[in-house]
Amino acid sequence: MCGIVGYIGTKRACPILLAGLSRLEYRGYDSAGISTIEKDGLSLVKDKGRVKVLEDKPEINSLKGTIGIAHTRWATHGKPSKENSHPHQDNHKIFSVVHNGIIENFQELRSMLEKNGYNFLSQTDTEIIPNLIHYYYEKEHENTVHAFLKAVRNCCLDLKGSFAIEVISKLFPKNMIVVRKDSPLVIGTCEDEKYLSSDIPAILSYTRDFYFLNDLEFALLENTCVKFYNVNLEEIDKPSSSIEWNAAASEKNGYEDFMLKEIYEQPTAIRETIGSKISLDNKCDFEELRFTKSYLETIDKIYIVACGTAMHAGLAGKNVIEKLCRIPVEVDIASEFRYRNPILNEKILCIFISQSGETADTIAALKLAKRCGSKTIALTNVIGSSITREADYSMYTHAGPEIAVASTKAYTSQVLLVNMLAVYFAEILGNTDVSEISNIKQEMLNLPKKIEETFSCKDAIQEFAKKIYQEKDVFFLGRGIDETVAKEGALKLKEISYIHSESYPAGELKHGPISLIENGITVISILTDSALMEKTISNIQEVISRGAKTLVITSHACDPSMFDETIQIPDTITYLSPILSIIPLQLLAYYISKEKGLDVDKPRNLAKSVTVE
């Protein structure tokens, strides 16, 4: 949902900002813009379209300034257009601002500013920000950096909603001010350069040392130093954190698309997520949690709350927690959970899954759970992300940066981590058969190799994609845990190929959806749970007899003549099966999107992290 970058240093800012925008383009790509501090004031170059449009503008070459801010947009208020693109400036062109988030009370603030003589050129909520800063700056009686900081702070106190903001001013050509509330912004630091970005990977090639702001903390930057202030503008200390991801992880490394690279990174992502936590000789240890048996015994229920693919990972993990720990688990969509008055108290444990750690609905749901006295665990891929600052405990998938909008390696790592958490709880509770736990652990350790084996389906999947890429509707079926994979397969397909796809529990078909099955329609089924296999095969027969074309993904021996295409995957225990059975479906979505000539990594209307409601 919009990407922002900033640079303050000794080099020309423009190329650094453009490179950062290209890396952040997955967050929004309908317009882009840049503003730098030049000798004669603030520059402003922006337009509708992708970062490439900005790069090709002749004016870009004349930008020499060493301080600048830039933005790539995912439109919320106002259609994609040059006027609505960021940066925005105040009427006097003294302040340039980029903003990620939504200002909910912008109409009210805009009316107030209009009454005070300000004009607006765009339909955005953001344009009020530079004008409001100007409005407050005018009230200051001194032209000092502190007055600039105070004006930005006073402006932010008026804003309702979410924001990550970078501000530069022609009056203060050595400074930049940044602030965030419920929207991501990180500060990368080197000796005489500072880099700002909506996420870590975009600036990893410059530094591994980062500062993370809490809500309504302000950073006043110069190229050689950063000072931090709380909302009362008292200076505060902030430690920096060193990030272990390497810069190459954020590049395509020879792959055509990030999504394909990330699919093939799954063995490594799983290996890294297991780390040293799982071994056959020792108990699973999450030192970051330190849960006790007596606490776990008080839990009445666990909620797993998340959005999209992360929610599907929760669905895939529900059964293993219930089976091993005998604690009921309910999985909820964050945007529903937060408004449905859920029963929350100190006997409820809530787990929030989010790859980015920045999803607005998930964070809001977490805040609600905390307010109601429940313990909260954030399960995320991004160290320092907003969710980790809100949760009581954080645990990490170590999937490395995920850039493609369609989530792949994050999903499989999340499914694994929920399984690891179940094992951790079960070992503390001590009421599960030790050999069952050993078997799960052994299968976890076998996963990287089995994922490699699963990749051998690639050619068959690519061929199948060629056969069905022009279809309008595709159905996904499964029972039990396979149904949760069907959901994820359908999401992946619709997200990047724009084919309407639906998933159903196979047994539900005849209660309505089967009326949609007609000659030639594609039905994809997942068959890994041996206990449910025969039942699902009967359901597949029902669609075959109504003319459906069938693709079956299975880990068991099946007569291949029964279906149009059968993809054999390695067998594993049911709880871990989504980590293997999703892979052919990720590849299928990828190759269909390629056949259709679509932008796999940046599907229309979507953005990588959804930082607005």
Residues that bind ligand M6R (CB under 6 A): 307-310, 354-356, 359, 362, 405-407, 491, 495, 609-610
Cβ distance to ligand M6R smaller for residue 305 or 440: 305
Q: Rounded to the nearest whole angstrom, what is the least distance from the CB of residue 315 to ligand M6R in the complex?
A: 13
Question: What is the distance between the alpha carbons of residues 600 and 586, in angstroms, rounded to a whole number?
Answer: 12
Question: What is the distance between the alpha carbons of residues 147 and 493, in angstroms, rounded to a whole number?
Answer: 52
Cβ distance to ligand M6R smaller for residue 28 or 308: 308
Question: What is the distance between the alpha carbons of residues 201 and 224, in angstroms, rounded to a whole number?
Answer: 22
Catalytic residue, from 2, 155, 350, 457: name it.
2
Question: What is the distance between the alpha carbons of residues 228 and 219, in angstroms, rounded to a whole number?
Answer: 5
Give residue number: closest CB to ligand M6R: 308
Q: Rounded to the nearest whole angstrom, what is the least distance from the CB of residue 611 to ligand M6R in the complex?
A: 9
Instruction: Give the burial string for 365-387 (b: 16+ CB within 10 Å, else e).
Output: bbebbbeeebbbbbbbbbbbbbb
- Residue of 540, 558, 542, 559 whose CA lies nearest to 550: 540
Q: Rounded to the nearest whole angstrom, what is the least distance from the CB of residue 207 to ligand M6R in the complex?
A: 23
Cβ distance to ligand M6R smaller for residue 17 or 263: 263
Backbone angles phi, psi at 434, to 5 degrees: -60, -35
Question: What is the distance between the alpha carbons of residues 19 and 319, in angstroms, rounded to a whole number?
Answer: 44
Cβ(588)–Cβ(461) below 8 Å: yes
In the numeric block, which tokens belong to residue 333? 């969509």
In the numeric block, which tokens belong to residue 284? 């699973």
Question: What is the distance between the alpha carbons of residues 180 and 217, in angstroms, rounded to a whole number?
Answer: 7
In three-state secondary structure terms, 103 is: strand
Cβ distance to ligand M6R smaller for residue 25 or 193: 25
Active site residue 93: no
In the numeric block, which tokens belong to residue 586? 């990720």
Q: Which residue has the tokens 């980015």?
A: 356
Cβ(423)–Cβ(436) below 8 Å: no
Radius of gyration of the chain (CA): 25
Element at 133 (helix H, strand E): helix 128-139
- State yes or no: cis peptide before 570, omega within 30 of 0: no
Question: Read out DSSP for 271-306?
Answer: HHHHTTT--SSS----TTT---HHHHHH--EEEEEE
Cβ distance to ligand M6R smaller for residue 13 or 416: 416
Active site residue 14: no
Catalytic residue, from 48, 150, 409, 608: name it.
608
Cβ distance to ligand M6R smaller for residue 167 or 418: 418
Work out the end-to-end distance of the chain between its first and last CA atoms, rounded to an integer number of angstroms: 11
In the numeric block, which tokens belong to residue 43? 């520059």
Cβ distance to ligand M6R smaller for residue 6 or 603: 603
Degrees to nearest 5, angle at CA 321 with 290 and 450: 100
Cβ distance to ligand M6R smaller for residue 454 or 609: 609
Question: What is the distance between the alpha carbons of residues 167 and 513, in angstroms, rounded to a whole number?
Answer: 53
Cβ distance to ligand M6R smaller for residue 356 or 497: 356
Q: Which amino acid is at 299?
A: I
Q: Rounded to the nearest whole angstrom, what is the least distance from the CB of residue 108 to ligand M6R in the complex?
A: 30
Question: Read out DSSP for 340-372?
Answer: S----STTEEEEEEESSS--HHHHHHHHHHHHT
Q: Rounded to the nearest whole angstrom, what is the least distance from the CB of residue 421 to ligand M6R in the complex?
A: 17
Q: Rounded to the nearest whole angstrom, what is the least distance from the CB of residue 479 to ligand M6R in the complex?
A: 23
Question: What is the distance between the alpha carbons of residues 28 and 265, in angstroms, rounded to a whole number?
Answer: 24
Question: What is the distance between the alpha carbons of residues 338 and 542, in angstroms, rounded to a whole number?
Answer: 39
Cβ distance to ligand M6R smaller for residue 267 or 314: 314
Q: Rounded to the nearest whole angstrom, what is the least distance from the CB of residue 590 to ligand M6R in the complex?
A: 12
Q: Rounded to the nearest whole angstrom, what is the least distance from the CB of residue 573 to ligand M6R in the complex?
A: 25
Q: Rounded to the nearest whole angstrom, what is the least distance from the CB of residue 491 to ligand M6R in the complex?
A: 6
Q: Rounded to the nearest whole angstrom, what is the least distance from the CB of residue 485 to ligand M6R in the complex?
A: 14
Residues taking part in catalysis: 2, 608
